[in-house]
């Protein structure tokens, strides 16, 4: 448990093993270790995540003739027959590709102007979404002159007193030399206490005397992947779908889960445009 199951569980599900869904964990292990050849390979980007995917996707979309409207917040969607109106424009279909909280907020506003048949669907979907519980991910950035790890990423032995599970050498991944990032999944400690413990862990396990640079705590980083969890469906109402790592699917809150839900949403619109 300590050497294999618990580290794999918290890294894959961002939920500690005692409260994690065994069914989802086994599915992830099946697909990663016994699925397609190379399915368990770990790829580490050498550019920031915005440039790795969203930036590249935006450029591709522009080349296809798509329109990007950055900095334009959608506050509500209004059903209009078989279409949806967004800020005065009509669309045949809409895919909400935002966080769970943003999607439910927009639908709460939309339900106020929708007929009862549609409003009930929006409210039911929003109710399930708001019931999700969340786990935090904390990252402690620390610096040491001329510090280099043996590998770009190391697994650490974590415990209650040594909370970090992974250490990343930002100097080997396109960042400044000497900067290390210690990641704490399913984090529960206060920022200052966490930072102190991680620096002590770096000293004890890696023999490094580091200086803290910044500690970032994402309190709603992922949903808690617990047994029997009810997640919101892909389809919200006719012509209205959602995608994201929190949408019902086989995986926990991961990039893989988010991408798969987006592919499924596009496929549903493509195959059944009149019924979705």
Domains in the chain: boundaries: 49-133+227-271, 134-223
**Using CA atoms, how far apart are residues 36 and 5, in angstroms rounded to an integer?**
21
**Using CA atoms, how far apart are residues 197 and 191, in angstroms rounded to an integer?**
10
Q: Which two tokens stand for residue 182?
A: 């210690």
Topology of domain 134-223 in CATH is Polyamine Oxidase; Chain A, domain 2 (3.90.660)
**Using CA atoms, how far apart are residues 166 and 185, in angstroms rounded to an integer?**
9
pLDDT of residue 130: 96
Let me know: does 52 contact 257? Beta carbons within 8 Å: no
pLDDT of residue 275: 46
User: Which residue has 């969203």 as its token pair?
Assistant: 54
What CATH code is assigned to 49-133+227-271? Answer: 3.50.50.60
**Using CA atoms, how far apart are residues 259 and 257, in angstroms rounded to an integer?**
6
User: Which residue has 């093993």 as its token pair?
Assistant: 17
Which pTM was predicted? Answer: 0.88
**Using CA atoms, how far apart are residues 202 and 141, in angstroms rounded to an integer?**
11
**Using CA atoms, how far apart are residues 10 and 7, in angstroms rounded to an integer?**
5
Q: What is the pLDDT along the chain (276 residues), one digit of tens a residue?
A: 888 899 889 989 999 999 999 999 999 999 888 888 887 788 899 888 889 989 999 999 999 999 999 998 888 899 988 899 998 899 999 999 999 999 999 999 899 888 999 999 999 999 999 999 999 999 999 999 999 999 999 999 999 899 999 999 999 999 999 999 999 999 999 999 999 999 999 999 999 999 999 999 999 999 999 999 999 999 999 999 999 999 999 999 998 899 999 999 999 988 765 444
What stretches of 38-163 show up as alpha helix (H) in DSSP? 49-52, 54-63, 100-111, 116-130
Q: From the CB of residue 16, how many other CB atoms can be counted at a distance below 10 Å? A: 15
**Using CA atoms, how far apart are residues 49 and 62, in angstroms rounded to an integer?**
19
Q: What is the pLDDT of residues 111-129, one digit of tens each?
A: 988 899 999 999 999 999 9
Q: How far is CA 120 from CA 102, 116, 256, in A?
A: 18, 6, 31
pLDDT of residue 273: 55
């Amino acid at each position: 448990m300590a050497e294999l199951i618990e580290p794999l569980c918290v890294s894959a599900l961002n939920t500690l093993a005692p409260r994690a869904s065994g069914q989802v964990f086994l599915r992830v292990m099946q697909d990663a270790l016994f699925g397609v050849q190379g399915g368990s390979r770990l790829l580490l980007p050498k550019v920031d995540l915005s440039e790795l995917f969203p930036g590249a996707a935006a450029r591709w979309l522009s080349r296809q003739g798509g329109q990007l409207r950055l900095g334009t917040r959608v506050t509500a969607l209004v059903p209009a027959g078989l279409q949806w109106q967004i800020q005065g424009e009509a669309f045949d279909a809409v895919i909400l590709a935002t966080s769970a909280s943003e999607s439910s907020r927009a639908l709460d506003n939309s339900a106020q102007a929708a007929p009862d048949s549609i409003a009930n669907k929006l409210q039911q979907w929003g109710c399930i979404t708001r019931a999700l519980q969340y786990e935090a991910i904390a990252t402690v950035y620390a610096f040491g002159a001329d510090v280099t790890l043996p590998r770009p990423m190391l697994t650490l032995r974590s415990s209650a007193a040594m909370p970090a599970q992974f250490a990343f050498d930002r100097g080997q991944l396109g960042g400044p030399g000497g900067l290390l990032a210690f990641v704490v999944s399913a984090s529960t400690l206060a920022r200052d206490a966490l930072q102190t413990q991680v620096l002590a862990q770096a000293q004890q396990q890696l023999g490094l005397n580091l200086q803290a640079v910044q500690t970032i705590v994402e309190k709603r980083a992922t949903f808690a992947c617990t047994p029997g969890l009810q997640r919101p469906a892909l389809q919200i109402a006719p012509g209205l779908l959602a995608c994201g790592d929190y949408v019902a699917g086989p995986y926990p809150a991961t990039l893989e889960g988010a991408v798969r839900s987006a592919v499924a949403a596009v496929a549903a619109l493509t195959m059944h445009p009149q019924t979705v």
